[in-house]
Each structure stands twice: as structure tokens, then as C-alpha cells.
A and B are shown apart, each in its own frame.
Chain A
Amino acid sequence: MLIFEQSRAGRRATAQAPAGAATDHGELPEAQLRRSRPLLPEVSEMQVVRHYTRLSQKNFSIDTHFYPLGSCTMKYNPRACNSLAMLPAFLQRHPLAPANRSQGFMRCLYELQEILQHVTGMRSVSLAPMAGAQGEFAGGAMMLAYHRQRGDTDRDEILVPDAAHGTNPATATMCGCKVRELPTGADGDIDLDALRALVGPRTAGIMLTNPSTLGVFDRKIDQVAKIVHEAGGLLYYDGANLNAILGKVRPGDMGFDVIHVNLHKTFSTPHGGGGPGAGAVGVSERLEPFLPVPFVSRDDDGTLRWQTERERPQSMGRLSAFMGNVGVLLRAYVYARMLGREGMPRVAEYATLNANYLFTELQRVGFEAAYPGRRASHEFVLTLRRQAKELGATTLDFAKRLLDYGYHAPTVYFPLLVAECMLIEPTETEAPEALDGFVAAMAEILAEAGKDPEILHQAPHHLPVRRLDEVAAARNPDLAWRPAEAQPPEQQLSASN
């Protein structure tokens, strides 16, 4: 029930109400004043408290449930990161506070830059981008700036594998480039012959995720780097799957020129609901002049200072008014410091171990791997093509039924090139018992599908909202609630005046 549906005329929650009606319009011109009353719910304080408390209890989150959403790295967010990032001195710092009064705060950011440089093998890092897609945009803009600065102005094509996240082609287009789609070979690696045919004097760069979205590590990455570099292009690393290789392999060593790191994935800052994210970018030496500002540098005497347009005239520019999503950056910094040099590779090891355990167990109970014979990275792809064909139960049906068992559904129907697929990522923070529970649920659902697929078609059965009509919702979006028999707000206002 919406809070609007509980509304009764004249009911008030006085504790939150402003003292006295606001009648002073200040300097707002008459023409700018609204003529109708805003449509707000009229409810008591108790109703408000109960309503929002109940909503919060319906939340599905990593704090309450297993959340194996592939490509999203929904790992546990340690409480220490939160409590340290919320120290009063961080919370109360004014964004325009001078550098000489912000050295401790700037040291956190400087050290995070350094940690990310070390762990990715890049020369320099800027923490400015406020989301993964913004990091990608910064990366694309830097690649183009590099080519232009050399007078190489014809490079306007970016290669993107067909398995890529949708943000990659979107970013390339936003940067003003043409997208050339690169096919994946039957084994899940990039088709090198197709790559050789696509690169040329128009190639600005290639955007890759490695391990790829298919959950496999591209074994020919050094050859990919060589082919693209020899054609004069640059390599962009999408950090979406960095969790699989953290502290083990460095994108800089694979030959990448620019990278973005999703701190909200790999570095465990809160994630979901659209943000706030942080998409730090790292670059090799030749792209260093173009890094987005501001970022932090250190003088010989240890003084930290902001690098801005003045110090970095070739910078691709700013991506936010201040310093990126600082609250998120601080959480990532604490997380990285807690892991330390020894902890980083353990993240990758356990993420990969958990994924391969789940992958093996799910195949054992009857599910089919999309790329059999390949080991999983930190995630893997199943195809339920056979179940869809033989049992009439699609991937969507399995996903909806999982909700009844208390599991967030994995990513479904992505990557696009695998029919009826599920992309599953358990992350390193799950215990074996949690993984076993998920396998048991999947096995039971498979048995249900064999007996009576209708159970799956109707699922979910035990949630507040049953199966939604996704087609009708997309074709006829009905997003604004209106009272059924109320008068239009204009009339209400004139009647009460």
C-alpha cells in the first residue's frame, strides 16, 4: 500500500511540520509560484513511522541474503569502512577547505591513488569519476585526447567485444566514436583473426573486460594488446571484473593503457540502487597529462596538494564539482588498508574458488555450462536452453522461483550472446554453507520444473508482489499515482481559498 493510499484529509504529523504556514514568498516572482497544491499524503506520525519501517523490512540486501548477481560483485561491505568514513572530521569537512587544513583527508586519497596504481600496474590514478560509466567516459576522452595531441585525428573507431557490458558501446558513442563489434570465438576468447581484420588507421582503441563478461580469462590478451598497439590503437580495461585478479595479475602488465576501477564492486563500497559509485581511472605514462582533475600530488617535502587545470593544462577536465564521491573513496581506502598487500590476492583466490565450487556443484545437479571446458573466473555463465526447450521453464522462471527460496536472482539474459543464460557471481565473502544452500535451491527448482513447470511460471508465490507483467509495464508505463476520485488539485486550491 502506498503512503498516498493511507491519506485522510486534515491528518497531520505535527512533529515534522514547519511552524506556521510559509506565506512569505521572498523574492520569487509571482509568475513562478505554483497555482495548485502539491499532492502530498496526509498521515499521522505513527503511520509514517510504520510505513517506512515496513518498507525497510522488505529490503533485499547483502546484509540479509545471498546476492549472486553476476558482473556486479555484490560483496559484504565491512562495517569498519563505514564507521571510519563517518568520523566527524570527515563528515564535517567543507569541500572548499584549504589544502593546508586538509592534509589528513588528502593523505587518505593520495594513498588510495597509490594503492590503486600498485594493484593495477598503472602509472597514475585519478579518483575523480563518480561512477563506472563516468570512469569509462574519462578513459575514452583521454584516449581521444592522446591521439589528437599527436595530430592523429582520424582515429574515431572503438572496438568492443560482443560480450561487453552495454556501457562500453554507450561510452564509445558518448565520446563521439563509432563502435565496431568484435566477435567472440567458440571458446569464449576474442577471435584474433576478426580483431586483425577490424583494426586499422581509424582505430582509437579497444575496450575490454578481462576476465570477460563470459566469466573466462582471455588467454590471448598479450596478442590482443600487440595487435591493437601495432595498429596505433590503445587498450582500455573495464575494471568490472577486477575482483577475479586482484593482487594476482595487473592490467598494466597485460598491456592496458587506461583502466577504470569500480570501487563500489572490487573495493566493497555500498552498491546498488543506482549509487553512489566511484570509478577511479588509472593510466600509463603516455596518457598521464590527460587525467581528470582534481587529484592529489605530493611534494618532495611531503606536502600534499591538489592537481587542477592550472597544473594540468592538458587534463580532459572535471567530472564533478569537487573531489568525486569522497564518502565512497574513504570507504574504499579503509577496505584496501584492512586487506593490505596479503589480503588483496586472497580476495581473488576466494572469489575464484567460490565461483568454481558453485560452477562445479551446479553442473553436478544438472545445469549446463555455456563454456564447458573453461574454468570460471570469479563468475560463470550457465545456459538453461535445454530446460527451456524440454521443460518449458525459462531462465526467467528459474530466476523468479529463486526469490521464493530467499535468493536474489542472478543476472539473467546477459551476456546477450548466450541463449537463456544466467551469470552467477558468489564473491569471496560467502561461506561454503551459503553456496550449498543456493545449489540445493537450484536443484529443487530443477526438480519442480520437471514435475510441474506451472509452479515456476507463477513464481514468485511468497513475496508481497507476485509475477509482474513486464511487457505491459514497459509498453504502458504508469508511474504517477493519482487519487481515484479526488478533484484535480487546482479545484481543491480554489475551493479552499
Chain B
Amino acid sequence: MTLRIGVDTGGTFTDLCAFDEATGQVHVRKVSSTPDDPGRAIVLGIKELLEQMGGRSIGEVSYLAHGTTVGTNALLTGRGVRTGLITTKGFRDLLELGRGRRPHLYDLQADKPEPLVPRDLRLEVTERVRHDGRIETPLDHEEVRSAVRELKAKKVESIAVCLLYSYLRPDHERQIGEIIAEEFPEAYVSLSSDVMPEFREYERLSTVVTNAYIGPVVANYLSRLRQRLAENGLTCTPHVTQSNGGIIPFPAAESMPVRLVLSGPSTGVVGAAAITSEAGSPNIITFDMGGTSSDVSLVQDGEPKVTAGMELDGRPIRSPMLDIHTVGAGGGSIAWIDSGNHLKVGPASAGAFPGPACYGNGQDATVTDANVVLQVLNPEYLLDGQLKIDAQASHRAVKAIADPLGLTVPEAAQGIIRVVTANMARAIRVISVQRGYDPRDYVLVPFGGAGPLHASRLAIELGITRIIVPETPGAQSALGLLMTDIRSDFMRTQITRVTAQEAAHSAEDLSKVFAELTDHALAWFEEEGIEPERRSIQRRLEMRYAGQNYELPVDVPEGPITAESITALIEGFQHAHDRMYGYSARDEVAEAVTFRVQAIADVPRAAISRAAAEGRKVEDAVVGLREVYLAEEGDYVSCPVYDRRLLDVGHHIVGPAVIEQMDTTTLLLSSDVCTVDDTRNLVIDIRRTPNE
């Protein structure tokens, strides 16, 4: 009776997935996005999806989760609201000064990001807290009151408040919050001690200002969408994905929009983690390749790796998020030749318009055009015939690159693939090798429209020997929404020595902070109405040697913190340090810096059905033969083309081959052997490295 729906809004398409708990079946729908009003495509898509499922009613939907880029887009396009800032006297320019570095070491024409709050809306108030939490100068309430009135008169919609040391002593920020509530109750207010109570004033400031700037946009969007869905008959509370991969109800998300910046990409990772864990491969590297960029991340033991922040468009954002690294390498990335006669690809992209040359509007050779020339992609049409391909246009575009390099057209096309593969490999090294993980120990999981096309070569570049292509790579994020938990993060910075000599003392200090955070988490469970049996709590400590300023995360096991667990924590930290930097300094004192508690509410997730073989023959899935250029063979090679819909559990394909489905194409090189597993994933094993 219950239906669960996931909706992921992307730049070009809105993907929808439904899971029918009664039949265990997953249904997928893709509609064009409506960027001017993203909710329109969502409502339309839901109707079409329900129609496709045989005319089900929206009232049957028990769960709806959404991945959105509304906040991120508002930030990237400068369409947030007019925002004011109240800060400590002497520091209003910090937002512009940042960390003092110029945006590019050598490019004298590069500019800093435009501050989200202009200088005349950044007001200072007299107050000062010190590094030990002591109040040196009390807050001047009258000054605050007149600052709020000034901002109101200057017609801001939103106010960010960021004072020095508020992560230690939030009193003054809270008092300012109260004064704003009295003087200007309709303003959207963000206090840095609520949004991101962490040390380093600029990063905290940038985060709270971003939150304030996009806050009203996100809040409006979510509340309107909620209303619209209700008007169309939805009875359950819709949820939205946060950057940490967990979902929260719409109303809760409205006050912390900055935690949604990776809403879209993170759900794909969660979905991939769930699917491959089920398939027995909990250690994966995800590779989500779309039109303009690729997102990569690492999943260890079924848990995506997390990080505490990122930089978006030159602005730091601190928030719990999945460790997703983005590189400007997508199907639309443009190939070009630099002044030293080297072939480069991206980061410029032909985007949705004009798009690759083969779509008929553009002139530039893109990665997609290279794939058309090589005939890896269907040279006549894509998307089940919805998109006509002009192979001649691709040929012309690639020839313009080939001629100056003295290469043949297929060689140049292959060169484009190699360069873009190297760019993607570099991104994967950032989230694996640079974090102390060897990519050869992981399975590569490609998705997005272009992931499965490039996965095999990328795997070879990284020494990876297994690839798993999920059943619906093009709608992975929407599917991920059906597989994620409700979760919320609570954190506090409190620098605390952790020593074996004073283990009992350390245990007491740590227990105290964790107890407070756990209380917050329990209160949140209550607010959300999560029953006790669905609750779980994860604790993590960020530690460093006293003297360092960068921390490494160490998991804190369940149960009371004792002298013994202190020894284990120190050991865990030494081990993490050794893994990351190749040494540990046992003569040095370790300290805990940030305490993190994650509250997780288990939701019934879409279970992946284990399909039984239907007894079809693999030969029957071959829908044609195509001459595909394989650099590894140095020529065009005749390859069978399979229709993925006709593939069945247990089918076995030896490369080279091409597997087509509605929104993606998988290339098998001659070194690849592919099996369809019992959850309908393509499991590709690379037997040997082909000669290149």
C-alpha cells in the first residue's frame, strides 16, 4: 500500500524514482527541469510517475525525499537576498579580507568573490570575548538596537551575526538575536554560534553569511513546494537531503540551508553505497559524471567519507558534508589546444546549450563528440531515440583539434578521452591517495549520464580491477533518496587534552561534552517524533597533536567513556596520523578539538529485490554490431551492442562490447568481463591491463 518517492532536481533533468513496498519494484521517470520554478517539474514528474505505475494516487505516498540545488544555485548566480551583517568592532572587513590570499597566484586579472554583504550593510558593535571565553567588553545593547534599525531601514531581508569566539561563548550573539526579534521580527536571522560553532573566525563568518544569504530563498522554495505538494494530495511530510547524505524534514532544513549545498550529489553517493553494500562490495569509489562536471567520493565499509567543509566559488563553507570532490570534466567539456601545442579538455563546458557539436548547435569538440567519433556512443541517436546525433558534426569538430596536432581524427578523439580520464583520475587521487586510501582496494561505481562510458579506462588508470554499474545509473541520486536515513549533526569545539597519564580525567572531560551533545540529539529525536527503536547515535572526535591546527577524525565507540577507551582513542588517533602523514609522534600530547554527534533515525528503506533469472539467453540481448575505435587495439573493432533491458541475472559478456540503456552507455574493453549480478548490477572485472 505504501509508495516511497525520491526526486532529484538537476540542471537539465528532474529524476524521479518510486519504490512500491507491495511489489518491491523500482520505477524511474525523467522529466525536463524547470529552473525558473523547479517545483513545477517536480509535481509534473510525480504525476507522470504515478501514471506510469498504473494510475496510483499521490495519497498513497508515505514518504517523499528531495535533493535540491536551489540554495547552491542562488549562491552561484548571486540571487540570494539582501543581507546585513552584525559583527565585532574592528572586524567588518573580514568578509572581504578573508584569509588574505589573492585568488590566483599568477593571474593578475583574477578577482576575489564578491562579498555577499556589501560594506555598508556590515555593521560593528562594541563587545569583546577572549580566547578563554571570558567577556572583556560587554555587549553594547543600544548600539545593537540602532544597528538593527539601520539594517531594517536599509531594507535587508536577512541578518547574519558573527562575533569573535562565539563558538566558545555564544551569549552576545544570542542577545543580538533577541534584539533583532524585538526590533525586526520579520528578518531571517542566522547566528554563527548556531550555524557553525567552530573556531577560525573567517570560515565561520563566511558560512553564516552564506546561510543568511540563501536562507530566505531556500525557505520560500521549500515551504511553497510543501504547500504545492499538499494541494496535490500529498499527506506525508516531505524531506530534503543535506550535504551529509542524511535527510531532514522540510521545516527543519529551512533554518540551516547552508547544510544543503551538496544536497544533490550526496544522495547519489548514499544510493551507490547502499546498492553496492547489498551486492557485497562496501568499499567503493563513486564516479558521477554528468554534462559539465564529475563528482567523486570514497565509501568505506558502506559509510561515505565525510568532511567538515569545502570552498564553493571561492567562499569557504563549513558544514558536515560528504567528502565529494568535483572536477570540471563532463560529457560537455570542451577540448582545446594550448599555446605549447598540448591538448587540454575543460573546464569550459558546452553545457546544455549549445551542447556538444553532435547535438546540432555547437562547434566545439567535446568529450561526447569524441565518443561519437569513436562510435562508443551511438552515432545516430541517444536517449532511446529522443535525441538525434549528428556524427558528421562531431567529426568536423574533432578534426579541428586533430589537424594542428598532426593526428588522425580517431587519434585526436582518443586523445580527448585520455586527457579527460587523467583529469578524473586526478580527482579520485584527491579523495583516495591524498587521504591515505589506495584506490586499488576499491570498486569503482560509475553513474550519471557519462560515468559508465569512461569507467573502464579510469579504473585501469587507477589500478582498480572491479567496476559495478548500478541498474539505473542516470537516476542514481533519485534512487539514493529512497535509501538514506534521517540524520542531524551536533558539534562543539572544546580543546581538551587527551592523555594516557591522566586517562580518568580525560575520560571525565570527554564524557561531559558528549553527554551535552547527546542530550541535544535526544531532544531532536523527540521533536522529530522518532521512536526509540529507530534511534542511533554516532560519536566522533576530531583530534590533533597539541600544537597542530588540523584535526583527524577518530570514531568514539558506543558506551561510557572510560580510562581504557581513552587509551584506545589515543591509539586510534596515532594510527590515523600515521596513515595520513606517514608518522606518529608518540612523545607529543594529543588533544580533542571538535566533538561531533550524529543522530540517525532509521527509516524503512527501499529494499533491493534479488531477481531470479528469467531464463533468457544473453545472445538475445544483442541488438546490433558497431565498429568501435579501441585505442588498445589501435583500430575500429566490431563490437556487439547489448540492450541492457534485455540482460538478465547471471548473463556473462566478454568485452569488447557496448551496453546501451535509456540514459547511459557502458563500454567494455577487451580486457573486461561483465556479469549481471542478482540485483541487476553490471559487475565488470578487468582481467589484465590492455596494451596502450
Q: Do A and B come from one complex?
A: no
Which A residues lie at the B interface, using CB under 8 A? Answer: none
- Residues of B whose CB lies within 8 Å of any CB of A are none
